[in-house]
């Protein structure tokens, strides 16, 4: 599969970075599922950018920790907590974290790794001066560790996940653009400490070492902003052959979104109900 050829299409661009504090991460996951369904049906391509205020996104396994209610109580004074419907474990979202989703139709021969590689190519193209320094490998000690953690000098600044729905693929990344990566990691470390205590989990809870994480601003030494990095993403897409068209959901997509939001919300509530 030619990764660069995948970019050479018309891409619908949904800019959800300016939505306010009332915009929930549950809405984001429902919207990505909506676009996945569209892509599966009509072969469309979409890139969506989103930012959320002070939110901890848990994986399904996290919601089953023995003292999860204590963990939620620890987060509650500052952070909204939701359980996402894609893979992975707990991550931190705030105004310094840019999320990008690449959404397209799953084609024959398209592997899971190809989806990850597509996103890695985009991020490396966004930062050509650091292209050779950006590594895709697991960073032990980070939160939500995985084989496609993105790092510079052994410090993670991004994680990638995938969601596949009825023929559509959403490759999602969170980019820690500004702020302190280690401070974010410390919050997640404390959450796990409260939610696990001396109990047992059915999965390997990451032992988080905050020093393994950093923001792009910290790693590059450049004065970055979330809007600026979004501009870098769009420019890199165009350089890779994409045509970007600012878009809004159709009436049909809006109806599907409402259905998807109901579904992901009900799932979230079930996961966190004692």
At 29, give phi and psi (nearest 5°).
-65, -35
Known catalytic residue at 176: no
Record the tokens describing residue 236, joined without a space. 């890199």
Percentages of the chain per state (helix, strand, coil), in multiples of 5: 40, 25, 35
DSSP 222: S
Walk across the sheet containing 55-58 and list its strands: 80-83, 55-58, 91-93
On the CB side of 108, CA atoms within 13 Å amount to 0
Among residues 36, 144, 176, 271, which one is catalytic? Answer: 144
Q: How many CB atoms lie within 10 A of CB 249?
A: 16
Active-site residue list: 144
């Amino acid at each position: 599969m030619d990764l660069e050829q995948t970019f050479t299409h018309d891409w619908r661009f949904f800019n959800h970075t300016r939505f306010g504090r009332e915009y929930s991460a549950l809405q984001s996951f429902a919207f990505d599922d909506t676009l996945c369904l569209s892509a599966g049906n009509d072969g469309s391509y979409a890139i969506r950018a989103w930012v959320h205020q002070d939110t901890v996104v848990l994986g399904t396994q996290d919601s089953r920790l023995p003292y999860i209610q204590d963990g939620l109580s620890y987060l509650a004074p500052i952070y909204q907590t939701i359980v996402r419907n894609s893979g992975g474990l707990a991550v931190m979202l705030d105004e310094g974290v840019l999320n990008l989703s690449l959404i397209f139709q799953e084609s024959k021969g398209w592997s899971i790794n190809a989806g990850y590689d597509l996103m890695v190519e985009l991020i490396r193209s966004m930062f050509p001066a650091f292209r050779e320094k950006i590594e895709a490998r697991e960073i032990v000690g980070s939160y939500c560790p995985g084989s496609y953690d993105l790092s510079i000098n052994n410090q993670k600044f991004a994680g990638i996940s995938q969601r596949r729905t009825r023929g559509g693929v959403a490759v999602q990344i969170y980019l820690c653009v500004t702020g302190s990566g280690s401070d974010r990691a410390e919050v997640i470390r404390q959450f796990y400490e409260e939610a696990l205590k001396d109990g047992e989990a059915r999965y390997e809870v990451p032992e988080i070492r905050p020093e393994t994480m950093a923001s792009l601003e910290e790693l590059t030494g450049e004065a970055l902003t979330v809007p600026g990095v979004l501009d870098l993403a769009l420019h890199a897409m165009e350089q890779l052959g994409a045509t970007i068209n600012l878009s809004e959901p159709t009436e049909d997509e809006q109806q599907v979104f409402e259905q998807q939001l109901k579904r992901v919300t009900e799932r979230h509530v079930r996961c966190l109900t004692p």
